[in-house]
């Protein structure tokens, strides 16, 4: 994978699906693909398998944006009821999302244009703005509290196992802070 300097390094792309209410990780995986786009459906499917229900909302960043994922998001909404808010591009640091155009959506609008318009609405902006308060702190906590910036095990399977162990430790920490030691003991029993 390329790093920020443009040099190739041996690295993995860590993925996580996070629950909004308690910031629990409901799905975790590691891939060798630098793009997130290939992981949209697999991560939501893994989360549904782990929790027993499909997410009501999916707030995903621009790394996941592709024609196939935008179409999959439409299909997922019809099949599972998951309303996806997927960023269609990156904004500069101080750049604001432009307001949604008034009137009906043009019939010839592409799925990307439809998603961009959805994100410009007041409900779309409100929903998507929560992503940085739900997902980003989880990655920060894993990096700082569990020293998860560098994985120690070699190979994709080893890295995947270590990342999932870090996710489990993160979840145990959240459960302990929410329920205390008696609640944690009751949950394990």
Same domain, 69 and 115: yes
Give tens-digit pLDDT for 78-87: 999 999 999 8
List the domain range (segments joined by +) for residue 113: 56-131
Same domain, 62 and 118: yes
Give tens-digit pLDDT for 122-176: 888 889 888 888 988 898 888 888 777 788 888 899 999 999 999 999 998 888 8
Domain count within the chain? 2
Which of 131, 154, 171 is the last residue before a domain boundary? 131
Same domain, 178 and 127: no
| 2 is a domain residue | no
For 105, phi then psi, to 5°, come to -75, 130
Evaluate whether 8 touches 1 at the Cβ level (below 8 Å).
yes
What span, in angstroms and rounded, lies between the C-alpha atoms of 111 and 122? 19
| 5 is a domain residue | no
Residue 162, token pair as written in the block: 């270590």
| 1 is a domain residue | no
What span, in angstroms and rounded, lies between the C-alpha atoms of 25 and 16? 6
């Amino acid at each position: 994978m390329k790093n920020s300097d443009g040099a190739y390094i041996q690295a993995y792309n860590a993925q996580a699906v996070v629950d909004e209410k308690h910031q629990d990780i409901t799905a975790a995986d590691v891939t060798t693909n630098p793009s997130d786009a290939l992981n949209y459906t697999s991560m939501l499917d893994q989360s549904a398998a782990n929790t027993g229900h499909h997410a009501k909302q999916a707030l995903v960043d621009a790394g996941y944006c592709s024609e196939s994922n935008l179409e999959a998001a439409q299909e997922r909404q019809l099949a599972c009821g998951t309303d996806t808010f997927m960023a269609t591009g990156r904004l500069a640091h101080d750049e604001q999302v432009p307001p949604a155009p008034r009137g009906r959506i043009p019939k010839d609008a592409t799925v990307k244009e439809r998603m961009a318009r959805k994100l410009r609405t007041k409900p779309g902006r409100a929903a998507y703005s929560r992503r940085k308060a739900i997902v980003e702190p989880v990655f920060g906590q894993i990096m700082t509290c569990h020293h998860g910036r560098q994985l120690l095990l070699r190979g994709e399977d080893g890295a995947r196992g270590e990342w999932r162990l870090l996710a489990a430790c993160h979840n145990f920490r959240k459960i302990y802070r929410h329920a205390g030691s008696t609640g944690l003991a009751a949950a394990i029993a």
